[in-house]
Amino acid sequence: MSSERDILKSLLLKEELEVLSQLKQKILSEEQFTQEISRVLSGAIKRAQETDKGFERALAKPIKTGVTKAFTENKQSIVDSMLPIMGQLIRKTVTNSIKQFVSDINRVLEQRFSLKAIKWRWQAFKAGTSYAEMVFKKTISYQVKELFVINRENGLLIQHVGDNDMLIDNNAVSAMLTAIQDFIGDSLQTSESGLSSAAIGDVSYFISLGPKAYLATVIKGSATERLKEKSQQLIENIHAEFSELLTQEEKYQQDPEFDVYLRSHLLSKSISDTPKKVNWLPWIIGIVLLISGLIYMSYQKRQKFNAVENLAQSIEGLYIKSIKQTDGQYIITGLLDPRADTTKLIGPNIVLNTQAFISLDPVIIKKRIRILLDNHKNINFDLFDGNLLLTGNIEKSASEDLLSELTAIDGIRSINNQLSYIEPQSIAHLLKEYQNKFQQMAYHFDQNTLTISGTVDYNSYQSLTKEIRSQYSHIKLNDSAILISDSTDKLINIVEASIINFPNEIEDNSAQYAKLADKIEKIFNRNNSLTLEIKGESDCYGKTSNQHSDIRAQSAINFFTQRGLDSKRLIKKIQPCVNYIIKPDLSKLNVTFDFNQISKADLQ
Amino acid sequence: MKLAKKVCLIGRFAVGKTSLVKQYISKQFGDKYKTTVGVSISTKEVLINDIELSMVIWDIAGFEQDGHYAHYLRGVHGLIWVLDGTEPESFEILDIISESIPEIKQIPSICFINKHDLVDEWRVNDEDIEKLKSHNYAVLNSSAKTGENVDAGFNKLAELMVS
């Protein structure tokens, strides 16, 4: 029967049975079932999450168990998986800490040499702590921004002071702070609150517990343990002074006295760490005195420096490059002319570190001139704008060397030579040689003019003047006071005044001629442009008078010619008779002489 | 006069505590369920008989473990029990907590049977209702979604707290 039914089923439901068989195989085959389920699993979970509210709850427990188990059994794998996230987080935290630390160090370094640093050192010394500790304490900055006094039991806000953000409900904040503590107590399964502080960014919460209320202190910045102690003291004081208020909920946030009390504890670090008002007056006086002292010392130092500087600058021939004060010494660097007088700078505090140079300072130039004129006591000079004026006396021979040396001095552009040349020693010797040839010889040298007086013979005069003029051409010779004993004019006068008388017709007048011959010779020698007219004169007694006149003149010419006189310069002349006398006059039988000037052409 | 009162919402997971608070505070409702971790705090200012009352509402995470709520209930001024009409099991919380904290019965309280917008899915029977009434709480059928009785419930509690 059964087989028949099976046959019938196979005939009627063959295809369905095959499908059912396949489905059965899929369900029974773990591999196939897993494969089928995996296709729809994600969609099924999603739909279940959307439609079945119990689905998540149902999953919560196994997931929690699974995760716990995974953490327990595969710690290393979990650590490895978490490392990229945690490592980054840790690095960020460490970096921020280092930044804060560096910032603190910078702050310390900035304060290192300040007045504040000195004060802190003193305070550290007094407190017996290290300077570093004091700096750390002083440089940590914080500000107590808000204070919440909260009912410890129900979390209601008893009083709040500080910043009031309209967007934040302080009641909610105080409740949340309480809730957090409760949450921790709940999580840790303890009745005691474990939350003592919390921090978000640079804002920290300090929780200070009291029997009825607790104090939540909101701090911005780096808070210290000391501040935590202060907060604890504050909540204790609140319990002591406002105990009733803490339990009277209808008075919460409405007690002005409590508000004022709390506000006085909104502290900044500077207030909390320096509870006593600092009396700045001694500091100000001290600082003023210190500054005054420093200014005075600086002034004194400057004065000394200026004195040295002025002293150095007053020295001609010293070019100052710099003056430095080192170890109490003033070191002057620059250029120094060897002629400069540095005696004023000699001292233990002044050191000259100079190099030699030639100064064109007028004082130094004058110094050089003076050195050159040291042997010329009669010379004075003046220097103005490079122009040198020389006055006084000098021997001509020495003047040239002196002038060339003066010209060589740097800084002298021109020389105005007003020197008078004085009598050289050699002239004195020369004059001395001629002194015995003079009668009463005298001379003096004034303004380059040598004046000689006295009487001397012509030759000596000629010889002396020739020597002076040849050897001392620069000297003007004044010889107007010299009387020449045998001067040409004198000789001419003598000759022209001479009358050779012939009392007899034939008279030998050789002796008289001889006297004249020397003189004539001298005259001719001294002046070759002169001729001597020899005139024969008669008394015109008899017809032969002219003839005799000629004979007498000729006799003179003959004589002078024989004595070597130039016959060409001896001119015979007859004084002709116009009227004859009847009585002889012997005194007129003469030969006379007369010099005439002739031209050189006539002579030739 | 100003007063602040601590109000706690108690109920199992997903009964709609947070949604009720959200509806009361901001008249909003979200379909997505987000579980509360620990406690969520909200405040609401109401004027009751010339008293400016600041209700500090503690929306405590759903109760699962015994006693974990004790911390949050300290010093509470008013309680709002939140039950789910679609889950009669959520009613058990009343007995559990009342037994563990007997003094809680002295706290002004109201009770929301929530999700009244899903009244067709309610599985609450008469026995549950009777049991609920034995606690002498004002019971309101509420819907966080539609806002039904939400303000009324909270205001009722406010009156109870200041009376």
pLDDT tens digits for A303-362? Answer: 888 888 888 888 888 888 888 888 888 899 999 988 888 888 887 788 888 998 888 888
pLDDT tens digits for A255-269? Answer: 888 999 988 888 765
Count, in order, helices (H) and strands (E) of chain B. Answer: 5, 6
Sort strands B51-60 and B138-141 into parallel, antiparallel or unpaired: unpaired
- What residues in B contact A176, CB-CB < 8 Å? 41
Judging by beta carbons within 10 Å of its beta carbon (0-12, 13-18, 19+), is residue A34 exposed, middle or buried? Answer: exposed
Please tell me the distance in Å from A31's CA to the nearest CA on chain B. 36
Cβ of A156 within 8 Å of Cβ of B4? The answer is yes
- Find, among A201, A63, A71, A225, the residue nearest to A140 by Cα: A225
Specify the residue for token string 């001694």: A282
Per-residue model confidence (pLDDT) at position A507: 61
Is the pLDDT at B133 greater than 50? The verdict is yes
Give the torsion sign (CA, A461, A466, A472, A477): positive
Measured distance CA(B35)–CA(A333) in Å, rounded: 89
pLDDT tens digits for A160-169? Answer: 998 776 667 8
- Find, among A132, A162, A148, A143, the residue nearest to A224 by Cα: A143
pLDDT bucket at A274, cuts 50 / 70 / 90: very low
Query: Could you say which DSSP state residue A504 is in?
Result: S
Cβ of A249 within 8 Å of Cβ of B4? The answer is yes
User: How far lies A533's CA from each of A377, A525, A537, A572, A591, in Å?
Assistant: 61, 16, 12, 6, 10
User: How far lies A18's CA from each of A11, A13, A15, A34, B46, in Å?
Assistant: 12, 8, 5, 21, 72
Cross-chain CB nearest to A185 (options B2, B58, B71): B71
Cross-chain CB nearest to A179 (options B39, B54, B77): B39
Is the pLDDT at A250 greater than 70? The verdict is yes
Cβ of A250 within 8 Å of Cβ of B43? The answer is no
Please tell me the distance in Å from A78's CA to the nearest CA on chain B. 25
Measured distance CA(A512)–CA(A514) in Å, rounded: 5
Chain A to chain B, count of Cβ pairs less than 8 Å apart?
68
- What residues in A contact B14, CB-CB < 8 Å? 53, 57
Cross-chain CB nearest to A179 (options B13, B41, B68): B41
- Strands annotated E in A74-192: 142-151, 157-162
Per-residue model confidence (pLDDT) at position B107: 93
CATH number of the domain to which B36 belongs? 3.40.50.300
CB A518 within 8 A of CB A490: no
**pTM of the predicted model as reported, rounded to 2 decimal places:** 0.43
What residues make up the domain containing B57?
Answer: 2-162
Cβ of B4 within 8 Å of Cβ of A252? The answer is yes
Please tell me the distance in Å from B107's CA to the nearest CA on chain A. 13
Cross-chain CB nearest to A175 (options B1, B58, B71): B58
Cβ of B13 within 8 Å of Cβ of A183? The answer is no
Cβ of B58 within 8 Å of Cβ of A191? The answer is no
Per-residue model confidence (pLDDT) at position B49: 85
Measured distance CA(A329)–CA(A318) in Å, rounded: 18
Measured distance CA(A61)–CA(B1) in Å, rounded: 49
Specify the residue for token string 């008013």: B78
Sheet with A438-446, strands from edge to edge, namely A438-446, A449-456, A476-484
pLDDT tens digits for A157-208? Answer: 999 998 776 667 888 888 888 888 877 776 776 655 567 888 877 788 888 8
Gyration radius of chain B's alpha carbons:
15
ipTM comes to 0.87
Cross-chain CB nearest to A182 (options B42, B54, B72): B72
Q: Look over chain A and give the mean of its residue pLDDT values, rounded to a whole number.
A: 83
Cβ of A53 within 8 Å of Cβ of B3? The answer is no
pLDDT tens digits for A563-595? Answer: 999 999 999 999 888 888 888 888 888 899 999
Is the pLDDT at A532 greater than 90? The verdict is yes
Please tell me the distance in Å from A174's CA to the nearest CA on chain B. 10
- What residues in A contact B74, CB-CB < 8 Å? 153-154, 182
Is the pLDDT at A150 greater than 50? The verdict is yes
Cβ of A155 within 8 Å of Cβ of B68? The answer is no
Cβ of A254 within 8 Å of Cβ of B2? The answer is yes
Percent composition of chain B: helix, strand, coil (DSSP 3-state, to 5):
35, 30, 35
Domains in chain B, number: 1
Please tell me the distance in Å from A176's CA to the nearest CA on chain B. 6
- What residues in B contact A191, CB-CB < 8 Å? 71
Per-residue model confidence (pLDDT) at position A280: 79
- What residues in B contact A252, CB-CB < 8 Å? 2-4
Which tokens in the block code for residue A370? 């003076």
Is the pLDDT at A273 greater than 50? The verdict is no
Please tell me the distance in Å from A179's CA to the nearest CA on chain B. 7
Find the closest chain A residue to B39 by CA distance.
Answer: A179
